[in-house]
Amino acid sequence: MTQMKERLVQLEVLRYNPDTDTEAHFQRYEVTCYEEWVVLDALNKVKADIDPTLNFRWSCHMAVCGSCGMMINGEPKLSCHTFLRDYEGVIRVEPLAHFPIERDLVTAPDDFMEKLKRVKPYIIPKEKKPISEGEYKQTPAQLMKFRQYSMCINCMLCYAACPEYGLSPSFIGPAALTMAHRYNQDSRDGGRMERQEVVATHEGVWECTFVGACSEACPAHVDPASALQQMKITSSIDWIVEHLIPGGKK
Amino acid sequence: MSRRPLVREVPPTSWYFRHPLYLRYMSREITCIFVAAYCVLLVVGLQRLSSGPAAWEAFLLGLRSADSIVFHLLALAASVYHAATWFGATHKAMPIQIGEDFVQPNVISGAHYVVWVVLSFVILYLAGVF
């Protein structure tokens, strides 16, 4: 068996204790890690061997749960999916940008959760039918129309990447709007006009200026930027039909 | 224990220095200034044309100045950058699904380049270049 290579890793971690601190500050840790480890492993080693007061969220350790999002050298990343071998020198670890810091690397996701609810991220059936009539069927082509958008793991990296959300916190934001698009594109759904009340507003897609950082940051290879641009087009068509075409209505 | 989350402000004017991607975004936004300025120049040209032959000739003479040529070169570069970055992003705004598959992004951007070249030749033809 090949021997795993060890390496002394220097981490600079942003700390904030709401009980004692008024500002956040960086704390330096030096910890011996295996080269094959990810940043989350290094943090766990720090917590186990050096400083048990260090707080951070994680769960699955396999880029599925979306809990361990952090800024690593200024980039929003899942710390369980960010390998130490890709970094040299001091690795700077901060909580996700644009979210309030609850404690150390733990952020408050309340704003995102509230916005996610507002876009009604569930199927609103076109026509309700009793269970006795069977399932709502869908072809593979109809599935592919929205499949990539359904891969979102709610990790909020796209919010940390989006400068618009940082500057205008009322922006509904990439993941929540992408979820609206995912259900709008679903052949079983009939709720688009209900979602438009949130989507086609200044806080909705029109706050997006297509920086595209959300799509670069997404660890699940979802393309929120594409979802938002497509919704801008459908929202514009809605407006034209309603205001410029005689007899046209939403 | 009550919650006391720490809110961090985003600098309103210098945020785009935080990441190369933000800088690329801002550089594309700035090209709009040249595109808009060139549109204004065209409107001024139309106004000069409607004012008679003397005004039109003076306008044409102004276009031949060194300042004007520098502006046109900058506006051309900005417009090409603006167009190329938009063509590269069109597959996001206008994906084309055929059956279960999506048309490749380079096919969509390539089609835009083809239409751009064809339209440019049509305009040059109408302007009497050929």
Could you give the CA distance from residue A27 to residue A25 in angstroms, rounded to a whole number?
7
Segment 78-107 of chain A within 8 Å of chain B by CB:
97-98, 100-102, 107
Is the per-residue pLDDT at A249 higher than 90? Answer: no
Closest alpha carbon within chain A to B20: A213
**What are residue B102's DSSP bridge partners?**
B97
Give A3's pLDDT tier (boundaries 50, 70, 90): confident
Tokens of A69: 């999002």
What's the pLDDT at A50?
98
Give B2's pLDDT tier (boundaries 50, 70, 90): confident
Whether the CB of B11 is below 8 Å from some CB of chain A: the reply is no
Query: B62 to chain A nearest CA, in Å?
Result: 36
Tokens of A94: 């901060």
Task: Single out the residue of A71, A98, A78, A75 nearest to residue A174, CA to CA.
Answer: A98
DSSP-derived secondary structure letter, A64: S
What's the pLDDT at A1?
56
- Which residues in chain A have Cβ-Cβ distances shorter than 8 Å to B18? 74, 163
Query: A33 to chain B nearest CA, in Å?
Result: 29
Question: Do A102 and A123 contact (CB within 8 A), yes or no?
Answer: no
Tokens of B74: 């900058």
Distance of CA B25 to the CA centre of its chain: 13
- Which residues in chain B have Cβ-Cβ distances shorter than 8 Å to A97? 8, 10
Taking residues A162-183, report their average pLDDT.
97
**Long-range contacts of range A47-54, CB-CB < 8 Å, 24 or more positions apart?**
A51/A27, A54/A13, A54/A15, A54/A104, A54/A105
Give A31's pLDDT tier (boundaries 50, 70, 90): very high
What's the pLDDT at A250?
55
What's the pLDDT at A85?
96
Domains of chain A: 6-107 (3.10.20.30), 110-243 (1.10.1060.10)
Is the per-residue pLDDT at A204 higher than 90? Answer: yes
**Whose structure tokens read 């920086």?**
A211
- Which residues in chain B have Cβ-Cβ distances shorter than 8 Å to A74? 18-19
pLDDT in tens, A38-82: 999 999 999 999 999 999 999 999 999 999 999 999 999 999 999
CB contact under 8 A, A145 and B97: yes
| Cα dihedral A186/A191/A193/A194 (nearest 10) | -140
Could you give the CA distance from residue A228 to residue A208 in angstroms, rounded to a whole number?
8
Asked whether the CA dihedral A45, A46, A47, A51 is positive or negative, the reply is positive
What's the pLDDT at B64?
96
Could you give the CA distance from residue B130 to residue B121 in angstroms, rounded to a whole number?
9
Backbone angles phi, psi at A127, to 5 degrees: -140, 125
What's the pLDDT at A128?
86
Question: Do A210 and A225 contact (CB within 8 A), yes or no?
Answer: yes
Query: A37 to chain B nearest CA, in Å?
Result: 26
What's the pLDDT at B1?
59
pLDDT in tens, A99-156: 999 999 999 999 999 999 999 999 999 888 899 999 889 999 999 999 999 999 999 9
Give A4's pLDDT tier (boundaries 50, 70, 90): confident
CB contact under 8 A, B3 and A97: no
Asked whether the CA dihedral B48, B54, B59, B60 is positive or negative, the reply is positive
DSSP-derived secondary structure letter, A149: G
Give B119's pLDDT tier (boundaries 50, 70, 90): very high
Taking residues A235-245, report their average pLDDT.
93
pLDDT in tens, B55-79: 999 999 999 999 999 999 999 999 9
pLDDT in tens, B7-56: 998 888 889 999 999 999 999 999 999 999 999 999 999 999 999 999 99
**What are residue A109's DSSP bridge partners?**
none
Could you give the CA distance from residue A94 to residue A92 in angstroms, rounded to a whole number?
7
Phi-psi category of residue A88: left, alpha or beta, with phi > 0 → left and psi -120 to 50 → alpha: beta
What's the pLDDT at B11?
86
